[in-house]
Amino acid sequence: MSKKTKKKMREAFAYARLIILGLIMVYPLLWMFFASFKSNEEIFGSLRLLPKSFSLQPYIDGWSSAGGINYGKFFFNTFVLVIPTTLLTVLSSTLVAYGFTRFNFKGKKQLFGLLISTLMLPNAVIIIPRYTIFRTLNVIDTYWPFYLAAVFACYPFFTYMLIQFMRGLPYDLDESAYIDGCGTFRVLYQILLPLLKPAIFSAGLFQFLWTYNDYFNSLIYINSVKKFTISLALRLSIDAETVVQWNQVMAMACVAVIPVVILFFVAQKYFVEGVSTTGLKG
């Protein structure tokens, strides 16, 4: 076999692998989408992927919710909650990560230890004391518990993640910039940030998605239905004692996932785009 056909074969093989794996991955979305057109009996009683018939009715019925509030409002609320939270988290985590990686200061090791250890205590037992703090700050039934945690970098996952990415960048970069007379902020802004684009985009993506999907914290801090987010709204009609119209639930779950699919599709090119080499020493 010539080198060329060999290469082609390998390429085809790689595609085949990706497509088979991809089918397994995409099955749930297809299933959910088609389930939104099925009756409950079809959903539970049959293995067929395709529904017997298609109708937009579940989407129309699902869109409006009890009390005259519809999903338009829930989407609006979700973005009001999620977008600032995401931006603030990325901003604060980047600053803190920069402080931890590019400087030597007293107590660095101990503080880093503290940062990591805040990740280690299970959430369940700190719910009540944390709620007490936000009640004292008078921010229950607002989105401030999320904003405040974002402003003050209380999502240690992202701080630590950005720390690790920054530690992958050579310190020589900073050093030559200092020699050129740059200040610390300019080093971060002009030298490191462009190189960190993939990391920052993935951090933003994660925070967006996780806040978007978060049920438990939203449930605890938000009381009024008119402030509900999508993740709370999706469960509004689910009750063990009534017949759940699963097609409506699935329809809204499909609608709810559209923004994040679009976001990911748009954002993913930033993981590909060659930011990689500029200014990096070999």
Partner 1 sequence: MKSSKIAKRGQKAYIYILPWLIGLLVLQLYPFIASFIYSFTNYNAFGKMNFIGLDNYIKLFTKDREFYKSIGVTLKYTLLTVPGKIILSLAVAVMLNKARKGIGIMRTIFYLPSLFGGSIAIALLWKLLFMDSGLINSILNFFRISSISWLGDPKVSLVTLSSLEIWQFGSSMVMFLAALKQVPQSLYEAAGIDGANRAQAFFRITFPQITPILFFTIIMQTINALQNFTSAFVITKGGPVKSTYMLGLKLYNDGFAYYKMGYASASSWIIFMLILVITLILFGTQRYWVFYEDEVK
Partner 2 sequence: MKLKKIMAVILAASMMMSLAACSNSTDSAEKAPSNDTTVTKAPDAGTNTSDAEEAHDPVSLRFSWWGGDARHEATLAVIDLFEKEYPWITIEAEYGAQDGYNDKLMTQFASGTAPDIIQLETGAAPEYYAQEQLLDLSSTSIDFSNFDPTFLENNGQFGSGSQYAIPMGKAGTAIVVNKDLADKIGIDFTKPYDWNQLIEWGKQVQAYDPSLYLISGNETYMMPFILRAMARQMNGLPIINDADNTLNMTEEQFTQALEFIKQLYENNVAVPLSYMATYGVNNQDDPNWIAGKYVAYVGYTSSADVMQAANPNANYIAGNLPVFADRKSDGWVNDCPQYVGIYAKSKNPEEAALFLDFFFNNEEAMKTLGTVRSVPPTEKAQKITLESGKLNPLTKMAVDVSMQYNGKSDSGKTTSAEVSAILCTAYENVAFGEKTPAEEAKEIVSLINDYLAAQ
Residues that bind partner 2 (CB under 8 A): 40-41, 44-46, 65-67, 127-129, 131-133, 135-142, 144, 148, 151-152, 215-216, 219-220, 223-225, 228, 232, 235-244
Among positions 61-90, residues that touch partner 1 (CB under 8 A) are none
**Least distance between partner 2 and beta carbon 277 (Å):** 41
By beta-carbon proximity to partner 2, the closer residue of 95 and 220 is 220
**Least distance between partner 2 and beta carbon 216 (Å):** 6
Does residue 100 interact with partner 1 by CB under 8 A? yes
Do 244 and 168 form a contact (C-beta atoms < 8 A)? no
Residue 167-206 contact track with partner 1, rule CB under 8 A, x = bound: xxxxx---x--x-----x----------x--xx-xx--xx
With CB cut-offs between 5 and 8 Å by kind, which of partner 2, partner 1, none does residue 175 bind? Answer: partner 1
CA distances for 91 relative to 36, 115, 125, 151, 198, angstroms: 39, 17, 28, 8, 15
Cα 30 to chain centroid distance, Å, stands at: 21
Residue 205's contacts (CB-CB under 8 Å, 6 or more residues apart) are: 263, 264, 267
Do 58 and 37 form a contact (C-beta atoms < 8 A)? yes
Residue 117's contacts (CB-CB under 8 Å, 6 or more residues apart) are: none
